[in-house]
Amino acid sequence: MSAVFEQIFQVGFLAAIIRIATPLAFATLGEMFSERAGVLNLGIEGIMLLSAMTGFTAASLSGSLWLGVLAAVLTGMLMGALHALFTVVLGLSQHVCGIGVTLFSSGLAYFLYRLIFGQQSVPPNIKGFQTLPIPILSDIPVLGPAVFNQFALVYMAILAIPVAAFVLYRTPWGLSVRMVGENPRAADSAGVSVIATRFQAVILGGALMGLAGAFLSMAQFNAFTFGVVSGRGWVAIALVVFGRWDPWRSAGAALLFAFVDALQLRMQASGLGHIPYEAFLMLPFIFTIVAMAVMSRNAVAPSALLKPFRREER
Amino acid sequence: MFRLEVRSSTPTWFNFALPLLAIGATLILCSGLIALAGAGVLEAYGVMFTASLGDSYAITETMVRATPMIFTGLAVAVAFRAKFWNIGAEGQLLAGAVASCFVGAIPMPGPLAMVLMAVAGAAAGAAVALVPATLRVKFKVDDVVSSLLLNSVIYYALMALIEGPWKDSFSGYPISPPIEDSANFPVLLEGTRLHLGVVAALIAAPLIWFLIVRTTLGFRIRVTGENPEAARYGGIHVERVLISTALLSGALAGLAGVSEVGGVHFQVMSDISPGYGYSGIVVAMLARLNPLGVVPAAIFLAAVMTGAEAMSRATGVPAFLSDVIQGTALLAMLVALLFTAYRIRRVGVAR
């Protein structure tokens, strides 16, 4: 048993957790901004997939990974704008629109990918992001190689957490976002444009979801496959609830999920008994459902979540 | 000047006009992608139509394809009526397929096997749907997220079965052993694949319509969805209604799996459903959650799917166009539904 234990908790384990947590952190922060403004974005799964595709394609055609990241972010913003158009401007059902955006984006991602790359027996890949050790910091024992010898996008995700917290809690725009998510009527009376603020928050959220997609296809897998996202978007929605709509807690939730995921990967590799590997693949999803069951009773969602705002309806 | 005005009632012809409007808009929007792929738009849509609805054999194939989506469409329509956001029809379908395949592999008289397959499949689907419903009622867990996450759990469970203990020892592929020949659903038309499940789906639709529109349970489901506070005030046990809705919805989705196992595949494999559970959402919305509308909506999506494959072979446009069409149709339908809530009024400009 101790041999298995050692194999699981070796030095690379911490690094793996950070890597797995990165796309989840981006996605979770993105969904959090959207929901704090009162808009549930179930389009996240499809937005991540389409961004992963456009990012990969742009990087592969241009040879520049950062151009790929830019393409992924712009894709995320565009799809965020689409979701905002339907849910914020037209006030349509956030649940069904989100599913619609996911179906549409996924379909478009598959269609365009097949159109551009054709049907190849071996999926094309790119030379993805390489690790970028930070001088001095990466020499710290244990923590150094795990946290400070990572992809540039990982550092961006780590920085994104305090930035998101600062924007949400310390800036006038963040205050507007929280107001339109809690009490749009009051925000409107105070001269805050509910529609514009929600629109901006959903687009910002889309940009972060785009970064999540970019990480998957350009740092983690270095290829676009149809299973590149495989439920991570849905998990992010659960993590927002688990993180109680707070940037720090949400990022913590992403880290916790990544821990479970890294653990199941290690357990798979160590060939623990005769348990089928699918049982381990299930584990993070079951963990998320159970975590939601534990947390949801006391979770307080933004009051105006799911409620469209129309000025004339008083 | 034009102004949006709240509409209190909608004429009946809207039920037909809005889906057609949405489908028309979808086909126009998606023609851009066909052009992008370098094919003629009319030619591509022409091939799609001929291959899916052009002759009697094509029509039977489209009906076979539509059958699981009629079931999942009904499942979603029933659930959404109560505002139970069941996005888990995909997992419920898989559970139904596994359960019915398990029963169908036991030697017994054919008709008995078919009945037991349906019962087992419906029960399995209902059991899966019970999870998000219970989590919502007891723990306030968002049903969308839990039912979505559960789809992945069920999928991996199915994979574990067919790659592990249930793997067909004869073929060596990750597929389940086939059901008994006597349990195969009878083909109703010689030379086609039109099976008993197709008829069952066509019968289920009016039955569910009757249940929703004419029975007490249906009334409770509708009131719970439209106004849970009023429902509670009126003495309806909202939680119990949600659980009943989930059981009904899950059972219907489970039957989609039964029909695929009994009538089409005769065994279970990993790709037994190319997303029929998610397509059910599109079907239900196109049908405006009306069980009778589910049938034409499912036939439309089935025609798009069968047609897209033929179109891909003939013109080189990727068959994934059908996925884009599904997503676009759902969004277009949502926009079209605005016409039920609002009307555009010409307002006289003050002189």
Q: Stretch A68-72: mean pLDDT, rounded? A: 98
In a domain, A44, yes or no: yes
Q: Are A114 and B320 in contact (CB under 8 A)?
A: yes
Count up the domains in chain A and report the number: 1
Q: What is the dihedral of CA A85, A90, A96, A102, to 10 degrees?
A: -10
Q: Does residue A305 sit within a domain? A: no
- Which chain A residues are closer than 8 Å to B163 by Cβ? 276, 278
Q: Worst-scoring range by mean pLDDT, A123-132, A173-182, A292-301, B77-86?
A: A292-301
Contact residues for A145 (Cβ-Cβ < 8 A; gap 6+):
A11, A15, A138
Say how far apart CA A165 and CA B87 lie, in whole Å.
Answer: 32
Tell me the residue length of chain A: 314
C-alpha distances in Å from residue A151, one per residue of A58, A100, A134, A142, B231: 19, 33, 10, 17, 54
Please give the distance of CA A71 from its chain centroid, rounded to a whole number. 16
Tell whether the model's pLDDT for residue B351 goes beyond 50: no
Nearest CA in chain A to B275: A103
Could you tell me which residue, B6 or A155, shows the higher pLDDT? Answer: A155
Higher pLDDT, A296 or B151: B151
In a domain, A76, yes or no: yes
pLDDT at residue B344 above 50? yes
Q: In angstroms, how far is CA B86 from the centroid of its own chain?
A: 11
The pLDDT > 70 percentage for chain B reads 97
- For residues B144 and A42, the answer to whether their CB atoms sit within 8 Å is yes
Residue B272 exposure: Cα atoms within 13 Å on the Cβ side: 34
pLDDT 10s digits, A167-187:
999 999 999 999 999 999 999
Phi, psi of A169 (to 5 degrees): -105, -20
**Mean predicted lDDT score pLDDT of chain A:** 90
Q: What is the pLDDT of residues B277-321, one digit of tens each?
A: 999 999 999 999 999 999 999 999 999 999 999 999 999 999 999
Task: Give domain status of residue A120, yes or no.
Answer: yes
Query: Tell me, what's the pLDDT at A219?
Result: 94
d(CA B302, CA B60): 11
Mutate which of B30, B83, B141 to test chain A, going by most A C-beta atoms within 10 A? B141
- Asked if residue A242 is part of any domain, the answer here is no
Could you tell me the pLDDT band of residue A7, with boundaries at 50, 70 and 90? low
Q: Do A110 and B157 touch (CB under 8 A)?
A: no
Query: In the structure, what pLDDT confidence band is assigned to residue A208 with cuts at 50, 70 and 90?
Result: very high
Are residues B258 and B273 in contact, defined by beta-carbon separation less than 8 angstroms?
no
| Per-position b or e across B143-178, b if 16+ CB within 10 A of its CB | bbbbbbbbbbbbbbbbbbbbbeebbbeeeeebbbbb
d(CA A142, CA A149): 11
- CA nearest B321 in A: which residue? A111
User: Strand pairing partners for B187?
Assistant: B195
Tell me the two tokens of residue B45. Answer: 């849509």
Looking at residue B114, what is its pLDDT?
96
Q: Has residue A199 been placed in a domain?
A: yes
Nearest to A100 among B146, B321, B330 (CB): B330
pLDDT at B171: 75
Residue A133, classed as helix, strand or coil, is strand
Residue type, B45: Y
Q: Do B153 and A110 touch (CB under 8 A)?
A: no
Task: Locate B12 and state its tokens.
Answer: 């009946």
Least confident of A3-17, A50-64, A193-207: A3-17
Q: pLDDT at residue B1 above 70?
A: no
- Whether the CB of B338 is below 8 Å from some CB of chain A: the reply is yes
Neighbours of B227 (CB within 10 A): 13
pLDDT at residue B11 greater than cutoff 60:
yes
- Cα torsion B231, B232, B236, B238 to 10°: value is 90
Q: What is the mean pLDDT of residues A49-69?
A: 96
Whether residue B145 is predicted with pLDDT greater than 90 in this model: the reply is no
Task: Note whether residue A279 is domain-resident.
Answer: no
A103–B326: do the CB atoms touch at under 8 Å?
A: yes
Res. A120 pLDDT band, cuts 50 70 90: confident
- Token readout for A261 is 């995921």
Query: With contact defined as beta carbons under 8 Å apart, do A55 and A210 qualify?
Result: yes
pLDDT at B172: 73
Q: Does position B347 have pLDDT exceeding 70, yes or no? A: no
Q: Which of A92-96, B93-97, B270-274 has the highest mean pLDDT?
A: B93-97
Q: Does residue A293 register a pLDDT over 90? A: no
Mutate to test the interface with B, among A117, A296, A298, A313 (most CBs of B within 10 A): A296
Q: H or E stretch including B5?
A: strand B2-6
Reported confidence tier of residue A6, pLDDT bands at 50, 70, 90? low
pLDDT at B290: 95
Give the helix/strand (H/E) hosting A132.
strand A132-133
Which residues span the domain enclosing A218?
A: 9-229
DSSP H helices in chain A: 2-8, 11-36, 44-62, 65-84, 94-117, 143-147, 152-170, 172-182, 184-189, 194-215, 232-242, 247-269, 277-296
Q: What are the pLDDT digits (tens) for B38-63?
A: 999 999 999 999 999 999 999 999 99
Tell the residue number behind the tokens 């996005």, with chain if given. B87
- Domains plus CATH for chain B? 2-346 (1.10.3470)
Share of chain B above pLDDT 90, in %: 81
Predicted local distance difference test score (pLDDT) of residue A307: 85
Q: Where are the alpha helices (DSSP H) in A118-151?
A: 143-147
Contacts of B335 in chain A (CB under 8 A): 86, 90, 92
What confidence tier does A272 reach under pLDDT thresholds 50, 70, 90? Answer: low
Helix, strand, coil fractions of chain B, as percent rounded to 5: 70, 5, 25
Interface test with B, best of A102, A264, A278 (most B CBs within 10 A): A278
Task: Tell me the residues of chain B between 3 and 32 that have a Cβ less than 8 Å away from chain A.
Answer: none
Tokens of A241: 């609830």
B227 CB-near residues (< 8 Å, 6+ apart)? none
Q: Which residue has the tokens 């086909």?
A: B27
Phi, psi of A219 (to 5 degrees): -125, -40
Give the number of other Cβ atoms within 10 Å of residue B93's Cβ. Answer: 36
Q: Write out pLDDT tens, residues A240-259.
A: 988 999 999 999 999 999 99
Q: Is position A282 within any domain?
A: no
Digit-coded pLDDT (tens) for B191-246: 899 999 999 999 999 999 999 999 999 999 999 999 999 999 988 999 999 999 99
Q: Are A301 and A243 in contact (CB under 8 A)?
A: no
- DSSP readout, B239-298? HHHHHHHHHHHHHHHHHHHHHHIIIIISS-BTTS-SSHHHHHHHHHHHTTT-HHHHHHHH
